[in-house]
Amino acid sequence: MAKYKNISSRDLWVPGVGTIKAGESAEMPEGFRNANFKEERPARKKDPEESKAGE
Amino acid sequence: MNYLADKSYLAVKPEATPGTPVIPDNFIPLISESIRVNPNISADRRFKGLTWKSDDVVRGTRLIEGDLVIHADPDSIGHMLNMVYEKGVTTGSAPVGYTHPFTVGEGKHYSIEISRGDFAQRIWGVRGENLKIAFQDNKMIATLSIKALGQFNTASLAVALTGVGMTSAVLKQIYDTRPTDGLVAGDVIRIGAVDITLTSVNADGVTVGFAATDVTASIGDPVFLVAQTPSYSAIVEPLYLGNTLVGVAATSALADTAAATKATATPCYNLAMDFKNNLLDAIASGATGAAALLNQVREASAEISRLFENPTQYQKWIEYVKQAITMITKGTYIKSDNTTWEQLTVKLHKVKLISNEQPLDVGQYLFDKQKFEALYDSVDGKAIEVNLVNRTAGTEY
């Protein structure tokens, strides 16, 4: 399962998932692919070494 | 694995640059389709010292064409009209509905996608050849015959992929010298059991690029375009004959007036309209199929079946009297105060009867079964005009 955001301007109904409002996100099943949606990747945790380097 | 047709989809999108494919993202509930790629493959009939017909096949001029059949709902029919006729400036807004005027002109080129199981067929440079609207069991059915410049469904590898860190694939040039035409960055292709998202489609027409991927495959292994998961903005009701009023009168203005109310409209037991662009597959050097799809003379016709009352229509037929037809089909209300609604209006400014029959069948009422040719009206300066009011913004077309 991965989270996808509806990047279209329309509320969209996905069979087997439900309605996802424009701009909102939902968990989609494995293999989901749709040009109206963009996968939301979780923000990468900052490496402690990177933090030190920036100090 | 087997697949049920009901899980397939039709997706459509106008091409920003005609003939340049895009990933279609407007999903339309399909009833049936018959889009076929015909490479015109035939037996190789050269003298080869054989007493058998042939030992191989060769290809001819490639044609891509067929029909898409949908329930004509107010949003979906907009895309069909947009492929056939030229959309003018859309007015309105979401709360009141958008009004899209269509006139005879250059319809948009579309990219469309049809899935078959896990696999998709991307057809690009699609133009509307012929749009028929008819009613079956009260529901408006739209049948759009299309032609297309190209398609991508499957190809095969020209160079083996050898495991970790692969960043590109080269496709064989058997079907086409540019086998990657139709693919777009962002597409997902399947090589073996690995789904790969494309980051580039190279200008050489044979190479696609992607992020470093662990994939192993041999020369000749198939490459498929992976189907999308469909999404629908709304599954709206089709337009109905029961919500349609037809005005038939001496002029288009009078036909508009007649179609405005049920009392003045002509009751039609059946009604069908057929709009043709008569596209030319313009074959040219440098293209295996059509290099362009060109509109030729446009034409339209209408068929009406209505109860026979007197020989008036017969007289109009044999004396080829000018008439005009306005069809207004209303859908559901859009504005919250119920003052605007979905609506398809088709005006044929000048029609003349090609045939008008009143067949006698025992136990049956008499009908005028009429076929009209839609003609150019020099007075109104047009043959046809179409207006569509729906919930789809003009930017989608």
Q: For tokens 């375009």, what's the residue? A: B225
* Cα–Cα distance list, A12 to A21, B79, B300 (Å): 6, 18, 36
Mean local confidence (pLDDT), B86-98? 96
Per-residue pLDDT, A55: 47
pTM above 0.80, yes or no: yes
Task: Categorize the per-residue pLDDT at A41 as very low, low, confident or very high, splitting at 50, 70 and 90.
Answer: confident
B24: chain A residues, CB-CB within 8 Å: 35
**CB contact burial A17-33 (16+ within 10 A = b; e otherwise):** beebeeeebbebeeebb
Q: Are B171 and B156 in contact (CB under 8 A)?
A: yes
Q: Are B26 and B15 in contact (CB under 8 A)?
A: no
Mean local confidence (pLDDT), B108-117? 96
Q: How many Å separate Cα B36 from the centre of its chain?
A: 13
DSSP class of residue B232 equals B
Length of chain B: 397
Enumerate residues 6+ apart whose C-beta is below 8 A from B159: B169, B170, B219
Per-residue pLDDT, A42: 74
With an 8 Å Cβ cutoff, are A13 and B235 in contact? yes
Residue predicted with more confidence, A45 or A33: A33
Q: How many Å separate Cα B14 from the centre of its chain?
A: 11
Per-residue pLDDT, B288: 85
Q: Does the structure show a pLDDT above 70 at A53?
A: no
ipTM (interface pTM): 0.81
Percent of chain B with pLDDT strictly greater than 70: 100
Distance separating alpha carbons of residues B214 and B107, to the nearest angstrom: 44
| B181-205 pLDDT, tens digit each | 999 999 999 999 999 999 999 999 9
With an 8 Å Cβ cutoff, are A13 and B234 in contact? yes
Enumerate residues 6+ apart whose C-beta is below 8 A from B346: B133, B273, B325, B326, B327, B384, B385, B386
A9: chain B residues, CB-CB within 8 Å: 393
Q: Are B321 and B248 in contact (CB under 8 A)?
A: no
Mean local confidence (pLDDT), B371-382? 97
- CB contact residues (below 8 A), chain A span 20-39, against chain B: 20, 28, 31-37
User: Would you call B375 helix, strand, or coil by DSSP?
Assistant: coil
Enumerate residues 6+ apart whose C-beta is below 8 A from B294: B279, B280, B282
Tell me which of A6, A21, A34 to substitute to probe the interface with B (most B C-beta atoms closer than 10 Å): A34
B187: chain A residues, CB-CB within 8 Å: none
With an 8 Å Cβ cutoff, are B230 and A8 in contact? no
Q: Does the structure show a pLDDT above 90 at A54?
A: no
How many Å lie between the alpha carbon of A33 and the closest alpha carbon of chain B? 5
